Amino acid sequence: MSLYARLTGWIVLIFGLLYFFLPLLGLFEFSLKARRGVYSLDAYTKIIGDAEFQATFGYSVVMALVTIAMGVLLVVPTAFWVRLKMPWARPYVEFITLLPLVIPAIVIVFGYIRLYNTSSWLPMTGTTMGTNLLLAFGYTTLALPYMYRAVDTGLRTIDVATLTEAAQSLGAGWITILSRVILPNVLVAVLSGAFLTFAIVIGEFTLAALLDRPAFGPYLQRIGANKPYEPFALSVIAFAITWVCMGLIQLVTRFSKHTKAAR
Amino acid sequence: MAFLEIEHLEKSFGATRVVKDFNLSVEKGEFISLLGPSGCGKTTVLRMVAGFEVPTSGNIRIDGKDVVNLKPNQRNIGMVFQAYALFPNLTVAQNVAFGLKVAGVDRAESDKRVTEMLTLIGLPELGNRYPFQLSGGQQQRVALARALAPRPRVLLLDEPLSALDAKIRVSLREEMRAIQQRLGITTIFVTHDQEEALSMSDRVVVMHQGIADQVGTPLDIYNRPATRFVANFVGTLNVMEADVVDPSTGRVKIGGQEITLGRAVPPGKITLGSRPEMISLGARTGRETALKGTITEVHFLGSVIRGRASVGKDVVSFDMFNDTGRAPPKVGEEVSLSVAGQDLLVIGD
């Protein structure tokens, strides 16, 4: 590679990094200015000590875990079955899983409210549990493109058909095959999907706000509208959570023993 | 009644019939090879026995019980795949124990059986390794141990040696056969490699276009091929068209030269076949029939030199040992080839 090409590459990389990190640095710097004249962690202390922060964050974490469980239960068997028995259906399933990227969350939530309101045939919004469940369904839908792609990519790295037949010849039924052969072998992919789902659920606003659930997204919006420094501290926290999720994906991939052969 | 019986088995994919009226009886402890080229239906037959394909029609009985309607996991059949198919997330010992765990065998018994199996395949110290830490040959041995651990009624081997290099293939096929004989397990082996089929099997089924062309011992298949396809597919065969001069004595004319087969043959035109090792260069005791020809090719194959000579309109291959005291013939040389009339096979369609 010529010196010119190398230099250009470095310049483009540095420009990209500055473009991305400078606003973040500004954001972080401003979040430390709660106390006049000195840098302090006051905004962070206030936020973390806020009972509403703890409640909404805790609620969103629980919702994220429920969403991940629902996503895994829905996506892993579907992607497995499509790959094993219905390869012709793959483009259709991929299209369906991509729909949440083009249909706004507000359309989904209005659809939910119209279908499942208190005067409908299935009044899910009539109870807290029902509404929570509806929110989890909504989150699962929003995370579907990421979860499906992650799992499908994972399935692509193993010989699904032969492993399934090997397990069947050893007496295993579908549940054993899925839980002890397929899932452990796409665990890294599932975890990638799970961390992305976690990041989406933690920051999601529309579904939670319109279903009136005490989630972290609406809390972020409320704080942003009413406080000077805390929203910036919160944004930094939200970024940190997302990065931790990304880091965990890398970590899991690196330390996954049995996938070494495939890579 | 045979231990494994396959009767009138048929399989179609859409309009294509890939297996046609396939029949086979396998005795308990027998080692049978399904031999044939790609697309002949041998793997489909194996997969129907395993339960991975549903027959279009026909019966498969194991120990007198019809298994066609049983799911693969209900048949108690062990299978070894070409691509090993070891579970990457499990260690060698866990792979071998998989079938035992599924069957609910208790831990102590399972551990004992795993040790037994790993000793059987000669890898007792590799129980804690993952599949990716093993060579291809070791992985296939583990796959065999895993298939044998639950003590299946029938063992199916789907081209298990195809992915291995030549030396490993030879040693592993000997090991597999020895293990099969030691355990006395009924085995069906699918291969397209005639050497594997002939060296390992009690009987060989040569398949062609979904049909079992011939079922017989390796010697039968090689020395007495029933059809032109079997004769051509198994080993190298010289095929010569002959005009029958006297059907009662087997006097026929090949390339303008008359030879006697010494047995009655059908009248008219017949097809004769001969293995290269049945034809000698020059005169040889016991091979009194002589054919005149011209050398067209000479190939050095190590211990053997294979020559080709044109005899009339046919080209005949012959083998001679690599003898340092005897120079191989030269291309274009006029030679006399000797063959015993009774060694010439009359090939049917």
Using pLDDT thresholds of 50, 70 and 90, give the confidence band for residue A143: very high
Per-residue pLDDT of chain B (349 residues; tens, 9 = 90+): 799 999 999 999 999 999 999 999 999 999 999 999 999 999 999 999 999 999 999 999 999 999 999 999 999 999 999 999 999 999 999 999 999 999 999 999 999 999 999 999 999 999 999 999 999 999 999 999 999 999 999 999 999 998 888 888 999 999 999 999 999 999 999 999 999 999 999 999 999 999 999 999 999 999 888 888 898 888 888 888 888 999 988 888 887 778 888 888 888 888 888 889 888 888 777 777 778 889 999 998 888 899 999 887 788 899 988 888 888 889 999 998 888 888 888 886 6
Cβ distance B88 to A168 less than 8 Å, yes or no, reads no
Contacts of A166 in chain B (CB under 8 A): 79, 81, 85-87, 143, 146
CB atoms within 10 A of CB A10: 10
Residues 190-219 (B) with a CB less than 8 A from some CB of A: none
Res. A257 pLDDT band, cuts 50 70 90? low
Residue with tokens 């965990």: A248
Partners of A131 in the β-ladder:
none
CA-CA distances (angstroms) from residue B265 to B95, B226, B246?
58, 15, 8
Cα–Cα distance between B74 and B52 in angstroms, integer?
Answer: 12
Looking up tokens 């840098």, which residue turns up? A39
DSSP secondary structure string, A184-224?
A: HHTHHHHHHHHHHHHHHHHH--HHHHHTT---HHHHHHHHH
The confidence score (pLDDT) of residue A87 equals: 92
User: Which residue from A minimizes the CA distance to B145?
Assistant: A170
- The answer to whether residue A168 neighbours chain B at the CB level (below 8 Å) is yes
Distance from CA of B182 to the nearest CA of A (A): 21
pLDDT digits 0-9 by tens, A7-39: 999 999 999 999 989 999 999 999 998 888 889
Give the start-end residues of each E strand in B262-332: 269-274, 279-281, 289-300, 304-311, 314-321
Provide the token pair at B168.
């490993």
Name residues 183-212 of chain A within 8 A of B (Cβ). Answer: 184-185, 187
Asked if A208 and A139 touch (Cβ cutoff 8 Å), the reply is no
Contacts of B146 in chain A (CB under 8 A): 166, 170
Residue A94's CB is within 10 A of a number of other CB atoms, namely 15
Please state which of the ranges A97-111, A215-229, B82-96 shows the lowest mean pLDDT. A215-229
Kindly tell me if the per-residue pLDDT of A260 is higher than 70: no
Q: Name the strand (E) or helix (H) holding A72.
A: helix A51-84
Q: What are phi and psi of B309, to 5 degrees?
A: -135, 140
Q: Which residue of B has its CA nearest to A185?
A: B89
**Chain B partners of A158 at a C-beta cutoff of 8 Å?**
88
Q: Which residue has the tokens 């430390």?
A: A32
Instruction: Spell out the residues 6+ positions from residue A22 whose beta carbon is closer than 8 angstroms to its own.
Output: none
Residue A263 pLDDT grade (very low, low, confident, very high; cuts 50, 70, 90): very low
Specify the pLDDT at position B265. 87
Q: Please answer whether residues B233 and B239 qualify as being in contact, where contact means their C-beta atoms are separated by less than 8 angstroms.
A: no
Residues 6+ apart with CB under 8 A from B342: B261, B262, B263
Residue owning tokens 């390869």? A87
Strand partners, B287: B284
Q: Full-prediction pTM beyond 0.90?
A: no
For A228, B112, B333, the CA distances from B280, given in Å and listed in that order, are 103, 57, 15
Kindly report, residue by residue over A161-196, the tens digit of the pLDDT: 999 999 999 999 999 999 999 999 998 899 889 988
Distance CA B338, CA A198 (A): 83
Separation CA B314–CA B255 (nearest Å): 7
pLDDT score recorded for residue A258: 58
Q: A170, A255, A259: which to substitute to probe chain B, counting the most B Cβ within 10 Å?
A: A170
> What would the mean pLDDT of A157-162 be, rounded to a whole number?
93
- Minimal CA separation from A203 to chain B, in Å: 34
Tokens 């579908």 -> residue: A174
Of A169, A170, A258, the CB nearest to B132: A258
pLDDT-derived band at A259, boundaries 50, 70, 90: low
Report the chain A residue with the minimal C-alpha distance to residue B74: A171
Instruction: Give the neighbor-by-neighbor strand order of the sheet with B269-274.
Output: B257-260, B251-254, B238-246, B269-274, B345-347
Predicted pLDDT of residue A261? 44
For residue B349, the model assigns a pLDDT of 60
pLDDT for res A262? 39
Residue B231's alpha-carbon distances to A144, B87, B225, in angstroms, are 58, 41, 5
Of B280, B237, B243, the residue nearest B261 (C-alpha):
B243
Token pair for A255 = 């330390």
Q: B3 — contact with chain A (CB < 8 Å)?
A: no
Cβ–Cβ gap A162/B87 under 8 Å = no
Give yes or no for B147 touching A (CB within 8 A).
yes
Burial class (CB in 10 A: 0-12, 13-18, 19+), A147: buried
Q: Are A70 and A144 in contact (CB under 8 A)?
A: no
Asked if B266 and B247 count as a contact pair (C-beta separation under 8 A), the reply is yes
Tell whether A128 is within 8 A of chain B (Cβ).
no
Q: What does the block give as tokens for B239?
A: 């095929």
In angstroms, rounded to a whole number, what is the distance separating the alpha carbons of residues A209 and A212? Answer: 5
pLDDT at A224 (0 to 100): 82
Residue B160 near chain A (CB below 8 Å): no
CA distances from A207 to A204, A217, B243 (A): 7, 9, 89
Q: Which residues of B touch A163 (CB under 8 A)?
A: 85, 87
The pair of structure tokens assigned to A169 is 């010849």
CATH homologous superfamily, domain A39-262? MetI-like (1.10.3720.10)
Amino acid, res. B307: G
- Minimum-distance CB partner of A158 among B51, B88, B90: B88
Q: How far is B77 from chain A (nearest CA, A)?
A: 6
Residues 6+ apart with CB under 8 A from A176: A167, B102
Judged by a CB distance cut-off of 8 A, whether residue B73 touches chain A is: yes
CA-derived radius of gyration, chain A = 22
